[in-house]
């Protein structure tokens, strides 16, 4: 059983989907800690409900010190895989170097399209017919790391940012636990920017 560390800034619905997958036995893992940069994040309430240790780390000041502090907390908890669940910051070198190709993120677009904030709005403004979500490993870029899994979502003619976001979120809750499970089972290998999934 591997230990997962979760970073979240907000409501933590993907955090909940991971907790639920562990509780159901779908993922053989334990959430060792939740780290947040927002003392009002609802993700903290989810952690409390499931007796998961949680820590708030103030993001003010040096980014390097902030990410070194996060890395130190994760290492102290014995974390083997770091999962970003609505963590609204670009991860910097001190954390990436501590967990190379061991940090996952989920993004509400079919990367490499529509990186960064408001991906669903970007998709609607561009007029695409297919949107979706992507689980990827984290590198020093913004949503540029090797892609693990993707799922497509049709864009409907009457979609708003809210309605499209809600349908994409349902997919996120499916594919994020699946990607974590593949990692735990040792089925992911990274060559360059390509992730291979073994049968």
Kindly state whether residues 115 and 94 are assigned to the same domain: no
* Predicted confidence (pLDDT) at residue 134 exceeds the cutoff of 90: yes
- What's the confidence (pLDDT) of residue 167? 97
Kindly state whether residues 93 and 119 are assigned to the same domain: no
Give pTM, 2 decimals: 0.96
Kindly state whether residues 137 and 179 are assigned to the same domain: yes
* Predicted confidence (pLDDT) at residue 78 exceeds the cutoff of 90: yes
Kindly state whether residues 73 and 118 are assigned to the same domain: no
- What's the confidence (pLDDT) of residue 148? 98
Tens-digit pLDDT profile for residues 152-168: 999 999 999 999 999 99
**112 preceded by cis ω (within 30°)?**
yes
Kindly state whether residues 137 and 68 are assigned to the same domain: no
- What's the confidence (pLDDT) of residue 6? 98
pLDDT band at 198 (very low <50, low <70, confident <90, very high): very high
Percentage of the chain lying above the pLDDT 70 cut: 100
Domain interval for residue 2: 1-100
Kindly state whether residues 109 and 133 are assigned to the same domain: yes
Kindly state whether residues 5 and 81 are assigned to the same domain: yes
| 173 among known catalytic residues | no
| Average of per-residue pLDDT across 98-121 | 98
Of 81, 100, 119, at which residue does a domain stop? Answer: 100
| Average of per-residue pLDDT across 73-81 | 98
Percentage of the chain lying above the pLDDT 90 cut: 99
Kindly state whether residues 119 and 56 are assigned to the same domain: no
Of 74, 100, 126, at which residue does a domain stop? Answer: 100
pLDDT band at 199 (very low <50, low <70, confident <90, very high): confident
The residue annotated as part of the active site, out of 54, 107, 136, 173, is 107
Kindly state whether residues 87 and 133 are assigned to the same domain: no
Alpha carbons 43 and 65: distance in angstroms, whole number: 23
| Average of per-residue pLDDT across 32-48 | 98
- What's the confidence (pLDDT) of residue 5? 98
Rg of the chain taking only CA atoms, in angstroms: 16
And the tokens for 62? 């040096």
Kindly state whether residues 117 and 70 are assigned to the same domain: no
* Predicted confidence (pLDDT) at residue 35 exceeds the cutoff of 90: yes
Kindly state whether residues 91 and 36 are assigned to the same domain: yes
CB 104 within 8 A of CB 126: no
| Average of per-residue pLDDT across 106-131 | 98
Domain count, the chain: 2
Q: Is residue 143 packed enough to be buried (19+ CB in 10 Å), middle (13-18) or exposed (0-12)?
A: buried
Tens-digit pLDDT profile for residues 91-109: 999 999 999 999 999 999 9
Of 50, 78, 100, at which residue does a domain stop? Answer: 100
* Predicted confidence (pLDDT) at residue 186 exceeds the cutoff of 90: yes
Kindly state whether residues 95 and 2 are assigned to the same domain: yes
CATH at 199? 3.40.50.170
And the tokens for 109? 């677009």
**Among 83, 107, 89, which Cα is nearest to 171's?**
107
- What's the confidence (pLDDT) of residue 59? 97
Alpha carbons 31 and 88: distance in angstroms, whole number: 20
């Amino acid at each position: 059983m591997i230990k997962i560390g979760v970073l979240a800034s907000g409501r933590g619905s993907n955090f909940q989907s991971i907790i639920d997958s562990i509780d159901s036995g779908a993922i053989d893992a334990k959430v060792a800690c939740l780290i947040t940069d927002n003392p009002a994040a609802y993700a903290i309430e989810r952690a409390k409900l499931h007796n998961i240790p949680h820590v708030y780390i103030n993001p003010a000041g040096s980014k390097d010190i902030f990410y070194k502090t996060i890395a130190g907390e994760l290492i102290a908890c014995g974390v083997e895989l770091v999962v970003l669940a609505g963590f609204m910051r670009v991860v910097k070198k001190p954390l990436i170097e501590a967990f190379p190709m061991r940090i996952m993120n989920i993004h509400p677009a079919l990367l490499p399209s529509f990186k960064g904030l408001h991906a669903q709005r970007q998709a609607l403004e561009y007029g695409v017919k297919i949107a979706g979500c992507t689980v990827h490993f984290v590198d020093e870029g913004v949503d540029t790391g090797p892609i693990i899994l993707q799922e497509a979502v049709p864009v409907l003619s009457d979609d708003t940012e809210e309605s499209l976001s809600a349908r994409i979120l349902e997919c996120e809750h499916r594919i994020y636990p699946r990607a974590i499970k593949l990692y735990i089972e040792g089925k992911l290998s990274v060559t360059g920017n390509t992730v291979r999934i073994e049968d």
